[in-house]
Amino acid sequence: MSYQIRKATNSDAEIVADFNSRLAFESEGKTLDQSKLLPGVKALLQDEHKGVYHLACDTNGEPIGQVMYTYEWSDWRNGWFWWIQSVYVVAEHRGKGVFKQVFQHLQENARKQGNVIGFRLYVEDNNTRAHEVYARSGFEKAGYFVLERGA
């Protein structure tokens, strides 16, 4: 099946926030703070310096999946990495190539931009289905692990 891939707009904020809520609960068992989530999504949608969401839509134009990316400048390589985040596909559309098509779309955009040198992502240790999807898309362990600390 072929999906329409488009950049999310301000009018998509609620569906993106809903997808993020589902993603957090399904993948990590977390319930997100809704008073922060929707304003956070809106802030990103209004400022591409923060990142970009792309939506996969079915033949009726209904969003059925999303991918967001943010940017990391590599001074070592003189180019941008796009960090893939907030990947979500509605349950009944999983296993049908939605992520594959969205990722191909991002790769085309990166090639056109000309200074994107790679893609990175992180995934929960126990999310083995996602590990398999990303491996099929050519992602490999990078030899790093992610550390986090509050401000």
Look at 148 and 6; give whichever has higher pLDDT: 6
Pick the CATH number of 4-136 from 3.10.20.30, 3.40.630.30, 3.30.360.10, 3.20.20.140: 3.40.630.30
For residues 60 and 70, give the distance between their C-alpha atoms in angstroms, rounded to a whole number: 28
Q: In 10 A of CB 80, how many CB atoms? A: 19
For residues 1 and 3, give the distance between their C-alpha atoms in angstroms, rounded to a whole number: 7
Confidence of residue 140 (pLDDT cuts 50, 70, 90): very high
Confidence of residue 124 (pLDDT cuts 50, 70, 90): confident
Q: Any idea where the domains of the chain sit in the sequence?
A: 4-136
pLDDT tens for each residue of 4-47: 999 999 999 999 999 999 999 999 899 999 999 999 999 999 99
pLDDT tens for each residue of 46-55: 999 999 999 9
pLDDT tens for each residue of 51-108: 999 999 999 999 999 999 999 999 999 999 999 999 999 999 999 999 999 999 999 9
